Amino acid sequence: MKIRFNDPPIVGNELRYIEQAIKNGRLSGNGYFTGRCHAELKKITSAGKVLLTTSCTGALEMAAILAGIGQGDEVIMPSYTFVSTANAFVLRGATPVFVDIDEATFNLNPVNVEKAITGKTKAIVPVHYAGVGCDMKAINRLAGQYNLKVIEDAAQAIMSDIDGQPLGSFGDMATLSFHETKNVVSGEGGALLINDEALFDRSEILWEKGTNRSQFFRGQVDKYTWVDIGSSFLPSELQAAFLFAQLEKADEITQKRLFAWLQYQQQLTPLEQAGKLRLPIIPEGYKHNAHIFYVLLNTKEEQKKVLKVMADAEINAVFHYQPLHSALAGRVYGKTHGSLSVTDDISERLVRLPLFSDITNAQVDYVCSTLTKLWDI
């Protein structure tokens, strides 16, 4: 049985909505389907304002500009994340300051964040790993105490919450990803969520290549012109049409992933009880979206062994992030604060198992039995 790591969901209306966008005669962005996506995402995330972007990377770059990040500033973030989290701020001339993660959730550890704050610190970027929220109460407390911006990298976290409050609604801003590896997809794509009302107007200008075009179309100005910096952050209506079909079924997609996630958890619990591996930890009051199911092995040698056994069985299981602080560019553009021993350790022992909304019971069974056979349990 050959099992891919990811199989992007197709929910049914994607082609119909793309055809409708074509018939509408508007292929460039900020049309009918862009508006529908904005409205749907506001409902899902409780964000004050939503702007679709061509990628989560683009959303992070917009957030860096809106946060006023510049030359010589420092931005605290985990090293255990994708390169876009750091690149967005490096492009503004800032230094990413990498701190260690919590060993239970692999999320930013607030204790380490506070130790890294200096007079140069301008923002904290919590990354909600695997769709499980960071300790946003503690992070927001620090931000308020030290007058820092909070930009949630919620690339993996749509449909997740803490005590009923959606991830993406805690910080000044947040970003989402709709890359084909995510739960809700549009091939590429992302969104910027803005919760600080003072940033609403400027965000539209950056989004529209530095012009006040949106104000012109609302009749607030009699012509539009170049008024600020900006770029081509806005996706086309074709991309928005595909995404809207997905957003309509976001709850259904999430429930199917959660079902598979729970199957993995139930079948692999005996291995955890036998001390062979560790399964994901979800804190009380935290609702996740089943974006990732991973196993944490006891040694890096076991990680290599599991990956080989899975590959031999035609199961596409993978490792995850290589820490940014030890990457070539990370050493050039960033710096570390304190020991990153948890980050280094986790990256050498974690294996991600195949997980997508249409994975079958038989496929999950096959993955679990292949893993279990390693220890004859």
The b-or-e profile of 29-49 (16+ CB within 10 A means b, else e) is bbbbbbebbbebbeebbbbbb
Q: Are residues 223 and 119 in the same domain?
A: yes
- The mean pLDDT of the chain is 97
Residues 6+ apart with CB under 8 A from 261: 290, 293, 355
CATH code of the domain covering residue 364:
3.90.1150.10
Q: What is the pLDDT of residue 84?
A: 98
- Please state whether beta strands 294-297 and 350-352 pair in parallel, antiparallel, or not at all (unpaired): antiparallel
Domain limit, last residue, from 249, 276, 303: 249
pLDDT band at 218; cut points 50, 70, 90: confident
Residue 238 DSSP SS3: helix
Domain match, 244 and 267 both: no
How sure is the predictor about 321, in pLDDT bands with cuts at 50, 70 and 90? very high
Q: Report whether pLDDT(220) > 90.
A: no
169 shares its domain with 210: yes
Residue-level pLDDT at 213:
85
Domain boundary among 209, 227, 249: 249
Q: Decide if 2 is inside a domain.
A: no
Question: What per-residue confidence (pLDDT) applies to 44?
Answer: 98
Average pLDDT for residues 92-113, to the nearest whole number? 98
| pLDDT exceeds 80 at position 58 | yes
CB proximity list for 216: less than 8 A, separation 6 or greater: 222, 223, 224
pLDDT at 262: 98
**3-class DSSP state for residue 296?**
strand
Task: Supply the pLDDT for residue 223.
Answer: 86
Phi, psi of 49, deg, nearest 5: -145, 145
Give the mean model confidence (pLDDT) for residues 6-14: 96
141 inside domain? yes
Supply the pLDDT for residue 377. Answer: 61
Total of domains in the chain: 2
Same domain as 44, residue 178: yes
Domain shared by 188 and 298, yes or no? no
Give the per-residue pLDDT at 128. Answer: 98
Is 4 part of any domain? no
Whether 108 and 136 have beta carbons less than 8 Å apart is answered as: no
Which residues touch 308 (CB under 8 Å, ≥6 apart)?
none
Task: Give phi and psi for 180, each to the nearest 5.
Answer: -60, -15
pLDDT tier at 217 (50, 70, 90 boundaries)? confident
State residue 194's pLDDT score: 98
- Give every strand in the sheet of 121-124, ordered side by side: 49-53, 190-194, 173-177, 149-153, 121-124, 74-78, 95-99, 335-336
Q: What is the mean pLDDT of residues 79-92?
A: 98
How many CA atoms are closer than 13 Å to the CA of 60, on its beta-carbon side? 28
- Residue at which a domain ends, from 217, 249, 281: 249
Shared domain for 287 and 313, answered yes or no, is: yes
Assess contact for 175 and 192: CB atoms under 8 A.
yes
Are residues 257 and 232 both part of a single domain? no
pLDDT score at 20: 98
**Vertex 82 angle, CA 317 and 181, to 5°:** 50
Shared-domain flag, residues 258 and 216: no
Buried b (16+ CB within 10 A) or exposed e, 257-281: bbebbebbeebbeebeeeebbbebe
Residue 371, CA distances (Å) to 163, 298, 363, 365 in order? 34, 14, 13, 10
Q: Quick one: pLDDT at residue 376?
A: 77
**Could you give phi then psi for residue 192, rounded to 5 degrees?**
-105, 125
> Could you report the per-residue pLDDT of 110-126, keeping only the tens digit for each?
999 999 999 999 999 99
Taking the CA of residue 37 as centre, how many other CA atoms within 13 Å lie in the half-sphere pointing to its CB? 34
In-domain check, residue 117: yes
219 pLDDT band, cuts 50/70/90, is confident
Nearest to 76 by CA among 104, 48, 100, 51: 100
Domain extent at residue 213? 14-249
What is the distance between the alpha carbons of residues 210 and 230, in angstroms, rounded to a whole number?
4
| Domain shared by 100 and 205, yes or no | yes
Answer yes or no: do 140 and 155 share one domain: yes
pLDDT at 252: 98
Per the CB < 8 A criterion, the answer to whether 175 and 55 are in contact is no
CA distance 261 to 264: 5
DSSP secondary structure code for residue 198 in this structure: G
User: Is the residue at 130 inside a domain?
Assistant: yes
For residues 256 and 217, state if they share a domain.
no
Quick check: 87 pLDDT over 70?
yes
Q: Domain for residue 331, yes or no?
A: yes
DSSP state letters, 46-86: --SEEEEES-HHHHHHHHHHHTT--TT-EEEEESSS-HHHH
Q: Are residues 183 and 220 in the same domain?
A: yes
Q: What is the pLDDT of residues 181-193, one digit of tens each?
A: 999 999 999 999 9
Q: What is the pLDDT of residue 221?
A: 86
